[in-house]
Structure 1
C-alpha cells in the first residue's frame, strides 16, 4: 500500500476508528481532529508501517462485521412506529432504574461444536520464519531501547532469546527479569536447555545458582537491589559488562504496589545496556516509550501491533461435563457480548434451576 493509498484509506474512516488506531501511537490523540489524526498517523507509519496497516485492516473488518450484524438484526426485527401510540412492552429492566434493550439474535444459524473445535490442535511442523515485527525489534535493539507490545502468542520470547544470543556473542552480560519467582524458574530451565547450563544462572529470593553466568534470570526486585548496591559501590554481578536487560511482563509498571520497582530499575539501569520491555497488555506503550526516551541517553522505539497470531475462542463447560460454544459465532464477537449460543443459554438456565433457591430465580 502506497502512502497516498494509506492516506485516502485513513481519511475515509470515521474519527472514532482513527482514535482507536491512534491509541499507543499518538500522544493525547483524544484532543485532535480528523485531519490532524490522519497526519500524525501517517508520520508514525514511517516507523512501523506494517503494524499500522495491520491494525487498520483489523479495525475496518471489525466495524464491517458490526454493521452487518446490526443490519441483520434490523431486518429480522423491524420497528414500525405508529403516531401517538406507545410500544406494547417496555424494554426489560436490568437493575434499579436502568433499561436493557431486548436481546436480538442473528438470523444466521449458531455454529456447531464441531465447527467451533475445528482447527484446534498441534499444527504441522514448518520452517520457522520470523515475522516482520520480530526482525524490526531485533534490528532496532542494536541502536535503541525497544518496547514490544504485541498480543499473547505472537512470539515475544523469540525476540528475547535472539537478542540474548546476539548480546552474549558480543561478550556482553544479559539479565532477564520477570515479576514472579515461578516464572523465573521456568525461564531458567528453558534457557538452560537452549544455551547450555554453564551459560545461564538464576538469582531469586530463595535460589542462587551460577551467579557469574553471562545470562542471569531474576525477579525485577532482585535486579533493583543489585543496582542499588552498585550505586553504593558494591558490585555483586558483572554490571560493568551488562549489555542487555530484558524486562518481561512490563505492564507491571502500572501496578499500584510494585510498579515503583520497575520504574527504579529502569532509572538505575546502566546507560551502556539496552532495555527490552515485553508485554501483551500495556495500555499506553507510546507514553512509556516517550518516558524512556526522556530519561535514558538512548531513544526508545515502540514495536506494536494488535492482530493475534492465535485467535481466541470462547466456550462454556457445564458442571455435567457438556462443552458448548459460548457465542453463536466461532470467534468472539467483540462488541456484542449478548450474542450467546442458544445451547449455552439453555445450560445457564438449567444450572440456575439446579443451584439457586426459588426466590432468587
Structure 2
C-alpha cells in the first residue's frame, strides 16, 4: 500500500495511459458520472481528479493490474523459449516440387485456364433470394436475428427487406456501421433505394434529415442516443424504433470499441428487433446465446457458409509467368490447401537466385 501512496500524478497517468479503454471504464464505474460518454484522454483526466480513499483504491488497482500484466508477459516469454524448435540447418527452406506434386496425387492440380474461367460480367438473370435470406427476414417479425455469412452472399438484401417492412409499419429503422466512410456509403445507397426524403444520417461530422424514418449512423452515435434516453431525455425516434441493424458486428470482439456494441445491444429498447450482420464472427452461437440471456425476445441464428462469389488465387512471378497459387481452383474455408507444383517450382527458382542456393 505504501508503494501506491507514493505514486505521483505523472506515474499514475502513465500507467492509466497503458490500460485499455474497457479497463478504464471499469475503474470509473460508480465513481465518475456518465463516464461511458468520455474518450480515453478525458476519462484519464477525470480519474486523476479523484481524491482521498478513492484515489488510493485507484492507484492500488492500477498497480495490481500492471503487476499481473508483467507476470503474464514473463510467463509467455518462458513458454515461448521452451517451445522454440531446434535451429534449422538451412534458411528459407521450401518444400521441393517433387514432394508437392505427389501430394494428393488422387486429384490433378488445376490449370490457369480453369482459375481464370468465368471472369467478367455475368449475363443478367432474374433475382431470386436464397432460402436463408427469406428465413432471416421472416424471423425478424418475432425475434432478433444474427446473420453470419461470407462477403458478397447477400446480407444487405436482408437489411433492405427488413427495413422496408418496418417502414411500412411506421417504425423507425436505425442502421449502424463502425466507420463514418461506410455510413456515408450506405446513406447514398439507401437513399437510392428508399428515396432521399426517407433516409437521414447522423455522424460526428454530418447531420442530415435527422427525423427520417431510416437513419444511418455510427454505432457510437446510437449508443449515445440510448444513454440520453436512459437518463430521461425523450427522443421520439426511439419511441417508434422498430429495427436496429448492426453491420460489421464482429466489432463486438474489438478490445477498444467492443464495449460500444455491447452497450448498444444492452440498452436497445425491448420493442425493437436487432439484426446483426457479419462475415467474420468466429463464435456466432455464443453471441446468440448471450442475446437470449439479456433480451426479452428470442434470437435466431443464421450461419450461411457457402460463398456466392468463389475465391481463387494466382501467383505472378517476376519473370511474367502467371500460375495458380494452389492445387485447387477455389479456396474453401476449413479444407486447407497445398501449393501448385508449378508455383513451387517458381518459388524454388526465385529462392536459388535470391539466396544463392543451387537447385536440387
The answer to whether TM tops 0.5 is: yes
Number of the residue aligned with 1:155: 154
Paired positions, count: 265
Number of the residue aligned with 1:96: 86
User: Could you tell me how far 1:231 is from its partner in structure 2?
Assistant: 1.3
Number of the residue aligned with 1:177: 176
Q: Distance in 2 between matches of 1:349 and 1:235?
A: 68
Residues 32-79 of structure 1 deviation map (CA, whole Å, 9 limit, x = unaligned): xxxxxxxxxxxxxxxxxxxxxxxxxxxxxxxxxxxxxxxxxxxxxxxx
SS in 2 for 1:238: helix
Correspondence list, 1:97-116, <5 A: 103=100, 104-107=102-105, 108-116=107-115
Higher gyration radius (CA): 2
Q: Does 1:244 align with 2:234?
A: no
Residues 293-324 of structure 1 deviation map (CA, whole Å, 9 limit, x = unaligned): 11111111111222222222122233455432
Unaligned runs of 5+ in 1: 1-93
Cα distance change of structure 1 residues 310 and 236 upon mapping to structure 2, 3 Å threshold: same
SS in 1 for 2:127: coil
Correspondence list, 1:344-355, <5 A: 344-353=343-352
Correspondence list, 1:1-361, <5 A: 96=86, 103=100, 104-107=102-105, 108-235=107-234, 238-319=237-318, 321-332=320-331, 335-337=335-337, 339-353=338-352, 356=354, 358=356
Q: Is the 8 A contact 1:174 1:243 kept in 2?
A: yes
Number of the residue aligned with 1:3: none
TM-score normalised by length of structure 2: 0.68
Q: Distance in 2 between matches of 1:336 and 1:172?
A: 46
SS in 2 for 1:154: coil
Cα distance change of structure 1 residues 181 and 322 upon mapping to structure 2, 3 Å threshold: farther
Residues 198-248 of structure 1 deviation map (CA, whole Å, 9 limit, x = unaligned): 111111111111111111111111111111111122345611111100001
Q: Distance in 2 between matches of 1:193 and 1:320?
A: 46
Cα RMSD of the aligned pairs, angstroms, is 2.6
SS in 2 for 1:182: helix
Residues 119-178 of structure 1 deviation map (CA, whole Å, 9 limit, x = unaligned): 222222111111111111111100111111122221110000000011011110000001
Q: Is the 8 A contact 1:173 1:244 kept in 2?
A: yes
Unaligned runs of 5+ in 2: 1-83
Cα distance change of structure 1 residues 294 and 318 upon mapping to structure 2, 3 Å threshold: same
User: Could you tell me how far 1:269 is from its partner in structure 2?
Assistant: 0.5
SS in 2 for 1:217: strand
Q: Distance in 1 between matches of 2:156 and 2:303?
A: 15
Q: Which region of structure 1 is more displaced relative to structure 2, 103-112 or 322-331? A: 103-112
Q: Is the 8 A contact 1:201 1:210 kept in 2?
A: yes
Q: Distance in 1 between matches of 2:163 and 2:88?
A: 54
User: Could you tell me how far 1:110 is from its partner in structure 2?
Assistant: 2.7
